[in-house]
Structure 1
């Protein structure tokens, strides 16, 4: 029994079971990491290893008429813990969503902060991860972290508050305009976001950085239809107004053995 660094793992429990799930043998690894299990006959078996503070391991072992050395590597179970606070006042941020992703971008575990802004992500193996944090009213952030050995690795996160822009679209007499399209552009003319107003004419943009913006409000685009008028009245020339479908936004991210009757499988 070895860990990810090649050191012995003593006291690990190793269980040999048949492919039908019947337990055939059980042993503990010695201080030097070695263990030995005996199989009743040649064939394929499942070897399960478990140890406190480490990720369980299961592997298929094919045994023949001679003892086979079968080493098992067990990754340490660890985690990341810390506090999420807001920049400036340093106040804790409750209900922030915290996730740990591996180098392939797969989410391994996630959780939320408590009222004091504390979080804990457990059951992570050794390795490098990205911790992503998001909360309402704050800019999301992602930070690299390396988890090594058992126990919790500390990682405190500071979130930048996002500025919110709100308003109402109305006509000259003050009547609010429902379903108006409001577009926000930055100082370079790039569209930041587009929303439509509610029944009360209100709109809102959130998580903005400091800077200059342009707010553009518009109604529906003109709609035309061709009509031929003859001697009779036309009563069903209906026109439908609506907004064009939003264009999806995309971009680039810059950033193993044998044993027979009475034979044994052993390893470390």
Structure 2
């Protein structure tokens, strides 16, 4: 079996992608990285059904069924989609907020991922599909304030959040 791994977004070879061939039980039959032109090859595979799993830094992993032919060389082309990243900083009072809970929600309202900020207030979500998301951050108890809106509206309604006793 021989194959090529390319990037779905620009069609270029993915160098150093790990390709693993496994049988129906999940036992690894062969494994190895792609070379400089994104190709890989396994010569010790017997005819029959197997699964190819491919992983590479910066890309979403894939697993696909492949039928190894009894005669000739089985060829396969695999495309990896890039795994997108979201990074940011949560702040309060102009300072990074440690231990804030950040949640990433998709358009169906499902939680895709969650993270807790570090001392620098930073959070990161990796290996995402492209699309629309909502990001929420929580780290302080909620606070309600009264607001009356008249005339042209309210230009600035600032709310300072803090922990109780803080």
Please show how residues 188-267 of structure 1 align to structure 2 within 5 Å: 188-219=108-139
Aligned to 1:110: 31
SS at match of 2:74: strand
Q: Which runs of 4+ in 1 moved over 3 A?
A: 149-152
Residues in 2 aligned to 1:90 and 1:212: alpha-carbon distance in whole angstroms: 24
SS at match of 2:42: strand
Please show how residues 23-38 of structure 1 align to structure 2 within 5 Å: none
- TM-score scaled to structure 1, two decimals? 0.48
Residues in 2 aligned to 1:165 and 1:210: alpha-carbon distance in whole angstroms: 11
Deviation at 1:209, TM superposition (A): 1.9
Change beyond 3 A, Cα 1:151–1:195: farther
Deviation at 1:131, TM superposition (A): 0.7
Cα deviation code 1:26-80 (max 9, x no counterpart) = xxxxxxxxxxxxxxxxxxxxxxxxxxxxxxxxxxxxxxxxxxxxxxxxxxxxxx2
Aligned to 1:88: 9
Tell me which of the two structures has the higher relative contact order, counting C-alpha pairs closer than 8 angstroms and 6 or more residues apart: 1
SS at match of 1:179: coil
SS at match of 1:198: coil
Residues in 1 aligned to 2:36 and 2:100: alpha-carbon distance in whole angstroms: 38
Aligned to 2:18: 97
Aligned to 1:182: 102
Deviation at 1:133, TM superposition (A): 1.0
Deviation at 1:159, TM superposition (A): 1.0
Residues in 2 aligned to 1:220 and 1:101: alpha-carbon distance in whole angstroms: 48
Aligned counterpart for 2:85 among listed residues 132, 146, 164: 164
Deviation at 1:172, TM superposition (A): 2.8
- TM-score scaled to structure 2, two decimals? 0.75
Stretches of structure 1 that go unaligned for 5 or more consecutive residues are 1-79, 222-268
Aligned to 2:76: 155
Residues in 1 aligned to 2:116 and 2:29: alpha-carbon distance in whole angstroms: 36
Residues in 1 aligned to 2:42 and 2:125: alpha-carbon distance in whole angstroms: 32
Cα deviation code 1:174-231 (max 9, x no counterpart) = x11223221111111111111122332221112222222111112278xxxxxxxxxx
**Greater Rg over alpha carbons, structure:** 1
Query: Are 2:40 and 1:119 equivalent residues in the alignment?
Result: yes
